[in-house]
Amino acid sequence: ILWYEGIAEHHPLLEKLGPEPLSDDFSADYLYQKLKTQKRAVKLALMDNAIVVGVGNIYANESLFKAGISPTRPADKVKKKECVVLVETVKAVLQRAIETGGSTLRDFINSDGKSGYFQQEYTVYGRHNEPCVRCGGLVQKEVLGQRGTFYCPNCQK
């Protein structure tokens, strides 16, 4: 336990964190302002807790696919109208993951002893060389930031 008298968001361990992705603070305007200064791949920026907290590897892959944005595209090349779609998509993907109990990899179970079922809905994650659910082309895999990055080169530009 860490006791801190004062506003929690001002604690040194928390003050540099971005907003929660399901909050109103995570908006298209906010994301666009953050991304336009980033030269790195948009997927890496989306997974950066200083930009937004809680968007892990699986959810970044799935959100970028659903938004039609290549994970390898430089973040500063994402247009404002694409940020509108991306923010909506991140929120929808995370909400769906919560509804289905998250993603179970290996032997994880939650406090009720249940596995998550979101992995049954993956559109790209873990589907290297499988047909894209949208166009039928093959899902590709690259490593970005030491994380597996799955995408459809036809559907994500």
What DSSP assignment string belongs to 17-70? ----TTSTTS-HHHHHHHHTT--SBHHHHHT-TTT-SS--HHHHHHHHHHHT--
pLDDT at 115: 56
Given this model, what pLDDT does residue 68 score?
98
Q: What average pLDDT does the segment 20-42 reach?
A: 98
- Average pLDDT rounded to a whole number, residues 3-18: 87
**Domains, the chain, with CATH or none:** 17-101+116-151 (1.10.8.50)
Q: Please tell me the predicted confidence (pLDDT) of residue 114.
A: 61
